[in-house]
Structure formats: structure tokens, C-alpha cells
Amino acid sequence: MEQLGVELAEEGFRDEEEDAARAMEREEAGAAVGSWGAREPEEPGRLPWFHDQVVPAGSSSSRVIVHVDLDCFYAQVEMISNPELKGKPLGVQQKYLVVTCNYEARELGVKKLMNVRDAKEKCPQLVLVNGEDLTRYREMSYKVTELLEEFSPLVERLGFDENFVDLTEMVEKRLQQLHSDELSALTVSGHVYNNQSINLHDTLHLRLLVGSQIAAEMREAMYNQLGLTGCAGVASNKLLAKLVSGVFKPNQQTVLLPESSQDLIQNLNHIKEMPGIGYKTTRRLEALGVSSVRDLQTFPSKTLEKELGISVAQRIQKLSFGEDNSPVTPSGLPQSFSEEDSCKKCSSEVEAKNKIEELLASLLNRVCQDGRKPHTVRLIIRRYSSEKHCGRESRQCPIPSHIIHKLGTENERHLYGGFFQRQRDRLGFPTNWKN
């Protein structure tokens, strides 16, 4: 057995940590066109030319989306917890892998997801910290999201270390307050992709410029209040914002103007680098002879729809042209909690039981802290395989009401045993599970 997971869920949708990449694969939602009612009279000195040219805020091209990506997040949290680690090559270890490392370690040849033994050979002075307990990372991650929500209510989490922020409304408010004599003083914060010149008389350019200033304010607030640095990408949709945020690293930001979007997309080496195109879809595209963005752009639409289905084919072909109308959807409270761990040496029922009890103890602690009561339990198993991507088996069932009632009481040890005996019966295990 390679991996075991236990999940407790509210009725609704998945845990955001289960597969963060799926957030970019949601079906596109069409943007509603904003309705412009009667405006108040212009104040003296305001920019009447801007209001004449303004594009409805619901229009996808007028949106200002920021993708915030924290630098080597786990390593930063460790350095904040222990300032003595700052300046030293640091790796965060989970099992036999360095799941992330700081930039001092990267300069010495250490890479993310490198085997610990190989990392030590590359960098003998590498300091390793155990990162298997995700509690502190999770808590800091939510602090970041809460801080970003002070700038806009539209914040969508993407795993622990990434967030999308829709700044369209905030940008609009700032532009409404802009006086003509302030226009010449406006400057972009950070880089502009391809060093493209900004035209202050182009409404879309102006929106993205103001968005870059707000993005810089967000990053400054993250550092001042939480001690964290991160990169940001500013663009007109989520796809482009995510792609451009990684152009300059670490602790920098980049604006993508509309005229440069195709250049950014075309610079991707392979379609697998495109957010929103997953492993299975990539394999099917490769079987059709599609490996580059250009291949996907020019592939016959009807053939693609026949092979992948109309919805998927149209969505990914639009992505290949940089088109992404998917909204920034506020994440809110997670609707499920999950804990999982790899365990290649777990080969007996006793070992599996011990591992599940270990996972459940951590899981129930999180549920009790949250205060809400779960309704469903799911057990997930992924058997060991040499394949990089292999399927998971899962079983789930409702949690009995009397068990839900007992959650959070001091009688947790008794609860664990009774809880798992019932789950074993429902999931078909043949022998008794003694408390």
C-alpha cells in the first residue's frame, strides 16, 4: 500500500487540499455583462475621457485578476518559527523527499521533490526540518487568505500557497477617484512582461497598472503583518495571471498587457505546463499528436470535440489562446477535512489500522477546532505502483448521528474505537476491530 487517507466532509464539495490543481479545471462560467445606470455628475478635475471609454466591469477583458504565489512557503513558515534558520540552506522533509527548500538551498543545487539522500550529496550543509505535520502551514495559509480578503471579497484559494484575487471592483473605484493631474504620475509596480510600454490612454492598460499598485500593497501587507514574501501576476484572467506570476521570482511581480498574452502562451514548452490541462487530458492530446500550444490552437475543433467531448475540447482550446472566463470564486470555509500519508511499508491489517488511527486523531482534532459537525467519512487507499499516476480506491458512508453528537467530547478514545468498528463493518473488513 502506498497511501492512506481519511476524510470527514460536510455535504457539499471537496477538500481544497485534495487536489488544488482541479480548481483551474472547473467549467468556464460566462461573465455577466454589467449594467450601467445613471451616473452622478463628474467632479471637477476627474477624468471624463476615462468614463467615456470604460468597459463594463463584467466584461472578461476588463477584469483585473491577481495571482499571489508565496515563495517556498513551507520553508518560510519554518524560518519565521525559528529565525536562526534564516540565511542557511533549508529543506522541508516529508518522508524521503525534500518537498520544498529555500532559495539559499536552491542556489546550491537542491530542488523541490528531490530525494533527501541526493539533496544531502548536493548540499552537505543542508538543514532539514520535518514538515509532515501541516498544522502550522495550514494556519498561516488561512492568515494569508484573510489578509487578502481585506483588499477584495473575491479571493479563491489554490492549495496552501496560492490565491487568486479579483481586484476589478477596487480598481474601478480608484479610477473613479483619479484626477487628471494625477495621471502623469501613475507608474507600474514591478515588471511588465516583455518590457511592453504602457499607454495611459488605453483603458485596459490603465486598469492593469492600477491593479499592479494594489498587488504591491497586498505583498507589502503580507510581509509587514505575516513576514511572508511572494510573487504576483496581474492580468485580465486567472489563467494569464497564474502564468505570468512565475516569470520573475522570488518576491517580485509582473503585469501582463493584452498585446503580450499570446507571446506568454506560446513560450510554454509543452501543453502539460498549461494550467487547467491535467495529466490524463495531456496523455490523450499527445496520442492525437498534440504536444505544443500551437498544435492545440490549430488542431481541428470537430476532431477534438469527438475525442474529448464538446465541453472539454472547447474549454482547453480557448485556454490555448489565453481565454479564461472562469470567475474568482471565494473559497469560504472548507467543506471537508482530510489527512493522508504515504506508507509503502504498510502491508498488514494491523499496520493499516494503526495508520488510520493516527490519521483520524489529527483529523478529529481539526474538526473539533472548526466546531462544525461532519456528515460523511471516506477512506481512500492508493496501492503501491511504479506508475507515477495511479487510481485510488475509496469507500464512504454517513456518520451515525450519535457519533456526530459525541464529537468534541472528552471521551475521544472510546469514540475512536466505536467509530472505526462501525466503519469497518460498513466498508466490509472481515474481522473485529478491538478498541
Chain CA centroid to CA 324, Å: 16
**Maximum C-alpha span of the chain:** 81
Q: Nearest CA to 343 among 307, 295, 397, 380?
A: 380
In contact, 215 and 234? CB cutoff 8 Å: yes
| Residue in this structure with the C-alpha cell 484575487, named with its chain if needed | 165
Q: Nearest CA to 157 among 331, 333, 335?
A: 331
Give the active site residue among 7, 104, 162, 323.
162
Quick check: is 162 catalytic?
yes
Query: Which amino acid makes up residue 37?
Result: G
Sheet holding 393-398, edge to edge: 336-342, 3-9, 376-382, 393-398
| DSSP string across 271-312 | GGGSTT--HHHHHHHHHTT--SHHHHHHS-HHHHHHHH-HHH
CA distance readout (Å), 151 to 169, 170, 179, 192, 221: 10, 8, 22, 22, 10
CA distance readout (Å), 116 to 28, 89, 410: 40, 13, 40
Catalytic residues: 162
